[in-house]
């Protein structure tokens, strides 16, 4: 009888652990879709999520960000894999410490709009900035924040789509982007603030690369826009 009780207990604990792990994966997936979707103003889909609480490591596969309204039905951004590590001792703290976050092989669509200097990535960035400001104004002071030691965007490529072009433009490689100390010198920053910082950096790198390969295509409309970070 005692052995049966032990077996039942272990089985129950294993079931709880499995349910907790599945719940965490689901919560991460839904959280990513919700935050990124509200920040960009477009539909966001998140692929399989794998998080190990014991190891303090996780990954999200197949993150897809759709194109904004007024542009083609193609995806604006596709990220093959996003991996991260977490300081386990801070998971239930106000500021969750993430020593490393890596976005691997993003494919970014660059599609010029009808107005000069207003491509799809510009429309996304404008929505990201507005959303970040709104979230900051309405965010409770006690809300969960993030402190990221190093954030890397690795192996990014840009796909340029121009309507009516006879031959497709080859994908343009973007140098790796490395950001350090996001919120580590304070008590952390919001997920929205992190996304805005990353999207700003990627947007700037994409425009710089496109301008070096196709002069004039990604140039801002005015000197004031050129000074925008």
CA distance 118 to 228: 14
Residues 6+ apart with CB under 8 A from 75: 64, 65, 66, 67, 109
Q: Which of 72, 73, 74, 100 is nearest to 86 (CA)?
A: 100
User: Strand pairing of 157-160 and 75-85?
Assistant: unpaired
CA distance 127 to 139: 18
CA quadruple 6, 10, 16, 19: dihedral sign: negative
Examine the pLDDT at 135 and tell me if it is beyond 70.
yes
Q: pLDDT-based confidence at 5, cuts 50/70/90? A: very low
Provide the pLDDT for residue 183. Answer: 92
Q: Nearest 5 degrees, angle CA 96-CA 176-CA 194? A: 30
Average pLDDT over residues 166-175: 86
Examine the pLDDT at 52 and tell me if it is beyond 50.
yes
How confident is the model over 27-46, as pLDDT tens digits? 566 567 887 888 899 999 98
Average pLDDT over residues 68-86: 92
Q: How much is the pTM?
A: 0.79
Exposure letters 125-149 (e unless 16+ CB within 10 A, then b): bebbeebbeebeeeeeeeeebbbbb
CA distance 95 to 146: 5
Asked if 193 and 179 count as a contact pair (C-beta separation under 8 A), the reply is no
Which pair of tokens denotes residue 35?
């935050």
Examine the pLDDT at 81 and tell me if it is beyond 50.
yes
Question: 3-state secondary structure string, 171-203?
Answer: CEECCCEEEEEECCCCCCECHHHHHHHHHHHHH
Determine the structural domain holding residue 177 and report its residue range: 2-226
Q: Nearest 5 degrees, angle CA 37-CA 98-CA 131? A: 25
Which of 69-73, 82-86, 143-147, 176-180 has the weakest average pLDDT?
143-147
DSSP letters spanning 43-84: -EE---EEEETTTTEEEEEEEEEEPPTTS-SSEEEEEEEEEE
Q: Nearest 5 degrees, angle CA 165-CA 169-CA 170? A: 160
Provide the pLDDT for residue 133. Answer: 86
Q: How many domains does the chain have?
A: 1
Which uninterrupted H or E stretch holds 106?
strand 95-110
Which pair of tokens denotes residue 106?
């993003």
CA distance 149 to 171: 30
Examine the pLDDT at 8 and tell me if it is beyond 60.
no
CA distance 123 to 171: 21
């Amino acid at each position: 009888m005692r052995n049966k009780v032990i077996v039942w207990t272990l089985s129950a604990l294993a079931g709880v652990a499995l349910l907790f792990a599945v719940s965490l994966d689901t919560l991460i997936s839904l959280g990513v879709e919700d935050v990124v979707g509200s920040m960009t103003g477009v539909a966001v889909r998140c692929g399989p999520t794998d998080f190990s609480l014991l190891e303090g490591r996780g990954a999200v596969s197949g993150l897809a960000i759709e194109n904004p309204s007024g542009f083609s039905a193609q995806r604006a951004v596709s990220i093959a894999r996003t991996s991260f590590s977490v300081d386990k001792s801070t998971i239930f703290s106000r500021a969750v410490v993430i020593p490393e976050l890596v976005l691997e092989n993003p494919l970014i669509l660059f599609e010029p709009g009808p107005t000069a200097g207003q491509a799809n990535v510009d429309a996304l960035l404008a929505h990201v900035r507005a959303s970040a400001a709104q979230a900051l104004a309405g965010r409770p002071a006690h809300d969960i924040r993030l402190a990221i030691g190093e954030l890397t965007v690795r192996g990014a490529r840009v796909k340029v789509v121009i309507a009516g072009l006879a031959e497709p433009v080859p994908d343009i490689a973007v140098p790796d982007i490395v950001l350090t100390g996001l919120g580590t010198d304070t008590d952390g920053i919001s997920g929205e603030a992190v996304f805005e910082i990353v999207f700003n950096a990627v947007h700037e790198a994409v425009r710089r690369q496109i301008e070096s390969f196709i002069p004039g295509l990604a140039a801002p409309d005015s000197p004031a826009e050129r000074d925008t970070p």
